């Protein structure tokens, strides 16, 4: 399976950990290069969100297509480059207006 930019995956790898967390989390693929993927991690701890992060509200019409379970935010800093083979559980994808907003936030179209 080849991960594509704009797809959400669940990753359970030490590189997916944030702070003191010891669990996996969803991520968004924002780019891919051969056997590597560039990802940004998701969190549901909205109170920890930075102004540069992107919130995906559960009541958005495109939310069900993401495969996320609750309102989440994407953490811009830092994006991580990982082996694409670590992305084994696809959750969904960014579609419609949400995808365009995410591409604007990321600074370039997903490819």
Q: What is the CATH number of the domain that holds 102?
A: 2.30.30.110
Cβ proximity of 99 and 6 under 8 Å: yes
Q: How many domains does the chain have?
A: 1
In this prediction the pTM is 0.92
> Would you say 65 and 97 are in contact if contact means Cβ atoms under 8 Å apart?
no
Mind listing the pLDDT tens digit for each residue in 58-84?
999 999 999 999 999 999 988 999 999
Band the pLDDT of 109: cuts 50, 70, 90.
very high
Within the chain, where are the H helices? 63-66, 96-106
Q: Is 50 inside any structural domain?
A: yes
Question: Does 67 reside within a domain?
Answer: yes
Predicted confidence (pLDDT) at residue 20 exceeds the cutoff of 90: no
Asked whether residue 2 is assigned to any structural domain, the reply reads no
The answer to the question of residue 18 being in a domain is yes
Range of the domain at 60: 7-106
Phi, psi of 8 (to 5 degrees): -100, 140
Beta carbons within 8 Å of 72's beta carbon, 6+ residues apart: 26, 42, 43, 44, 55, 56
Report yes or no on 13 lying in a domain.
yes
């Amino acid at each position: 399976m080849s991960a594509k930019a704009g797809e959400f995956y669940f990753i359970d790898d030490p590189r997916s950990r944030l702070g003191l967390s010891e669990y996996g989390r969803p991520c968004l693929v924002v780019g891919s290069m051969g056997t590597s993927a560039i990802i940004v991690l998701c969190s549901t701890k909205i109170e920890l969100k930075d102004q540069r992060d992107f919130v995906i509200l559960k009541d958005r019409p495109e939310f069900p297509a993401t495969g996320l379970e609750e309102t989440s935010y994407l953490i811009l800093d830092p994006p991580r480059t990982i082996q694409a083979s670590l992305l084994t559980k696809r959750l969904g994808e960014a579609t419609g207006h949400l995808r365009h907003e995410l591409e604007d936030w990321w600074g370039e179209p997903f490819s």
